[in-house]
């Protein structure tokens, strides 16, 4: 009690005397200056103090450094706590505003306290907390909507206010989405909702960086008329990988891949053994080409190597074959190639070889027409495959042999046509070579000129050819001949082959006595067994005989026109000739509708197809 009486007495006395009063302090610096007796003791204790009452406008604060007691208005509490907690007098983030944004109330703070490493701030019964674990020096701790990692502060909530002042000559200030980075060297970077501006004396705007951005993770709500990748001026667009240009779209629309030289609307270049274009389809076509121009082509293929092949195709899941000497095209399959003419007088296949410029076809159409020393080459890879299959005259079917063959051609009027153009020396429109038959005709066999057999001359086979011509007749005849020796009575019996009467009618006889004249005659004509009798000759005389008969088998009688030898020309055959040259006419006047088609070369197409340098 003495101490309690003495304290106010001394305090009053010092006031009356106008001097500072010290307790355990010889040199008081304030009106009342209390120091602890021992270091670490509390110098002042006040019991039963009244708690804060809502509505109080000021609070009592003791400075931890100086020990000075002062009061502070509640409205200044946020900024003061920022100075104390973060030890940075330039930190301007208002604690009151922080509390307001997180409690939705007024800007006054009711109370605040530190529990462990957590700051607890109370406003109208609501508590907001902040972790103070890492709050040392100038390291800042984030709150709701503000994330801090190292020296990076991230505004994660658009409605939060961030104001940062950097050290030195650079400052960062702003409120989302507007931030400004400025420095004393007059270089300022600013942003807002629609643009970024860099100022260095002047300004360079980067406009529409959000609404019109093309995102790498995909885009929605696009309009093809206004949203696109590309240029709006007359400049090409280039795409790169590994900092090397891989694709370019020219200002005119030409697309180039691995090259900067356009040879058309789409140009793709490949180096080494790579393929420039690969088309793979499950049910559709791998590659489709189309043009509406008469002298251009739906698909054009060219090989610039002296022994190269222009195009190679294989079917029936077979491996493609080609000539090592090169060709314009090579086709492999169970049927090597199939071609069809859609015109009633068209030709299924036209072949032109030996660097010739004129091909010959028939105006009536055919399955195939080949001109040259070797007009065409085709290969069927199976034992029953056909090298080349052709169908003409807009036919809806084609025919091949079950045993296969080098070629099979189907046409309405003519199945195939072959012509060789050499006017001197060797010239053969069609050659057949077989160990049994070189050429087999299932129907009638006809020719406008002579029909020969040709052999190496038996007396000079190295230097000469021997030809014999067929005997012509207005009838279809079979000839049988032989010799018979008459008996002692001057009679002779001749037996013809057992099939004779099955294929012949209308017999004629010719008898020639040998050695001496005689009056020989046919005593008995050919009977059903093919036997006839000769009489009137000399005893034991040799008689040469011949029988001429009209052919009468089922094959020859199948077509009534076969035995008709005079035929009237009809339709477009009138005025046409089987041998037009013999009458001073041209091939276009041929009865068989043979026409000469001069090849049309489009030089401009050849010059525009060029070797593309790989980039």
pLDDT in tens, 237-255: 999 999 999 999 999 999 9
User: CB-hemisphere CA count at 13 Å for 437?
Assistant: 4
The arithmetic mean of pLDDT across residues 94-106, rounded, is: 47
Regarding predicted confidence, which is higher, 427 or 66?
Answer: 427
Give the model's pLDDT for residue 522.
97
Kindly list the distances between the CA atom of residue 325 and the CA atoms of 300, 308, 310, 572, in Å, as whole numbers in the listed order.
20, 7, 12, 43
Helix (H) or strand (E) holding 161: strand 161-164
Alpha helix positions (H), 69-199: 77-86, 95-103
- Alpha-carbon span 303 to 325, nearest angstrom: 12
Q: Which residue has the higher pLDDT, 373 or 477?
A: 477
pLDDT band at 538 (very low <50, low <70, confident <90, very high): very high
- Contact call for residues 415 and 441 (beta carbons, < 8 A): no
Residue 396: its pLDDT value, please?
A: 80
The pLDDT mean for the chain works out to 74
Dihedral of alpha carbons 579, 581, 584, 585, sign: positive
Q: Give me 524's structure tokens.
A: 């008995």
44 touches 62 (CB < 8 A):
no
Model confidence at 389, in pLDDT bands (50, 70, 90)?
confident
pLDDT at 216: 80
pLDDT of res. 3: 42
Q: Flag whether pLDDT at 599 surpasses 60.
A: no
Rounded to a whole number of angstroms, the distance between the first and last alpha carbons of the chain is 104
Question: What phi and psi, each to the nearest 5 degrees, are found at residue 153?
Answer: -110, 125
> For 107-140, how does the pLDDT look when each residue is reduced to its tens digit (9 = 90+)?
455 566 666 667 666 666 666 666 656 554 444 4
- Whether the per-residue pLDDT at 402 is higher than 90: the answer is no
Nearest-angstrom CA–CA distance, 276 and 309: 16
Torsion of CA 453, 457, 458, 461, to 10 degrees: -130
Q: Say which residue, 414 or 2, is predicted with more confidence.
A: 414
Q: How far apart are CA 73 and CA 57, in angstroms?
A: 6
**Pairwise pLDDT comparison (548 vs 161), residue with the higher score:** 548
How far is it, in rounded angstroms, from Cα 441 to Cα 504? 21
Helix axes 95-103, 77-86, angle to 10 degrees: 110
**Fold for the domain defined by 477-564:** Immunoglobulin-like (2.60.40)
On whether the CB atoms of residues 550 and 504 are closer than 8 A, the answer is yes
CATH 2.60.40 residue ranges for the chain: 477-564
The closest alpha carbon to 590, from 315, 266, 364, belongs to 364
Question: What's the confidence (pLDDT) of residue 536?
Answer: 96
What per-residue confidence (pLDDT) applies to 502? 95
Q: How confident is the model at residue 510 (pLDDT cuts 50, 70, 90)?
A: very high
How much is the average pLDDT of 394-418? 80
Mean pLDDT comparison of 389-393, 543-547, 588-592, highest-scoring range: 543-547
């Amino acid at each position: 009690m003495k101490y309690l009486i003495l304290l106010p007495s001394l305090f009053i006395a010092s006031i009356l005397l106008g001097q500072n009063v010290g307790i355990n302090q010889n040199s008081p610096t304030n009106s009342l200056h209390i120091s602890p007796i021992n270091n670490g003791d509390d110098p002042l204790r006040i019991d039963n103090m009244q708690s804060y009452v809502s509505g109080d406008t000021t609070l009592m604060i003791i400075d931890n450094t100086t020990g000075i007691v002062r009061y502070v208005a509640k409205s200044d509490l946020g900024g003061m706590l920022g100075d104390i907690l973060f030890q940075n007098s330039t930190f301007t983030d208002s604690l009151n505003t922080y509390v307001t944004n997180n409690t939705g109330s007024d800007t006054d703070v009711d109370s605040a306290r530190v529990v462990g490493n957590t700051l607890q701030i109370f406003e109208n019964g609501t508590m907001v907390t902040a972790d103070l674990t890492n709050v040392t020096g100038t390291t800042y701790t984030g709150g709701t909507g503000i994330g801090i990692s190292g020296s990076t502060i991230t505004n994660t909530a658009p409605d939060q206010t961030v104001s940062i002042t950097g050290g030195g000559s650079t400052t960062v200030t702003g409120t989302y989405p507007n931030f400004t980075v400025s420095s004393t060297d007059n270089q300022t970077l600013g942003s807002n909702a629609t643009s970024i501006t860099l100022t260095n004396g002047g300004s360079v705007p980067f406009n529409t960086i959000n609404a019109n951005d093309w995102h790498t993770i995909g885009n929605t709500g696009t309009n093809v008329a206004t949203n696109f990748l590309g240029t709006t001026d007359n400049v090409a667009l280039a795409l790169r990988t590994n900092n090397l240009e891989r694709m370019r779209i020219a200002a005119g629309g030409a697309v180039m891949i691995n090259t900067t030289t356009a040879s058309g609307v789409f140009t793709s270049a490949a180096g080494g053994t790579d393929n420039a274009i690969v088309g793979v389809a499950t049910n559709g076509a791998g590659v489709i080409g189309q043009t509406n121009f008469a002298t251009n082509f739906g698909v054009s293929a060219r090989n610039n190597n002296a022994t190269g092949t222009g195009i190679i195709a294989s079917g029936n899941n077979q491996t493609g074959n080609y000539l090592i000497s090169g060709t314009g095209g090579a086709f492999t399959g169970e049927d090597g190639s199939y071609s069809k003419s859609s015109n009633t007088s068209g030709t299924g296949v036209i072949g032109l070889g030996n660097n010739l410029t004129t091909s010959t076809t028939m105006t009536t159409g055919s399955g195939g027409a080949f001109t040259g020393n070797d007009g065409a080459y085709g290969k069927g890879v199976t034992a029953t495959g056909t090298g080349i299959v052709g169908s003409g005259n807009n036919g809806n079917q084609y025919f091949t042999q079950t045993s296969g063959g080098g070629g099979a051609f189907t046409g309405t009027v003519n199945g195939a046509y072959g012509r060789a153009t050499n006017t001197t020396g060797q010239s053969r429109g069609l050659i057949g070579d077989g160990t049994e038959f070189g050429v087999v005709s299932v129907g009638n066999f006809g020719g406008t000129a002579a029909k020969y057999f040709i052999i190496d001359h038996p007396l000079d086979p190295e230097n000469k050819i021997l030809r014999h011509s067929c005997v012509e007749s207005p009838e279809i005849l079979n000839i049988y001949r032989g010799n018979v020796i008459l008996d002692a009575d001057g009679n002779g019996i001749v037996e013809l082959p057992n099939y004779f009467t099955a294929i012949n009618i209308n017999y004629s006889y010719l008898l020639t006595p040998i050695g001496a004249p005689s009056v020989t005659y046919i005593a008995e004509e050919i009977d059903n067994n093919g036997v006839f009798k000769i009489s009137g000759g000399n005893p034991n005389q040799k008689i040469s005989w011949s029988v001429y008969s009209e052919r009468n088998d089922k094959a020859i009688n199948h077509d009534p026109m076969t035995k008709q030898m005079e035929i009237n020309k009809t339709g477009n055959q009138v005025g046409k000739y089987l041998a037009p040259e013999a009458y001073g006419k041209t091939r276009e006047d041929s009865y068989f509708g043979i026409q000469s088609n001069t090849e049309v070369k489009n030089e401009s197409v050849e010059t525009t197809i060029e070797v593309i340098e790989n980039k």
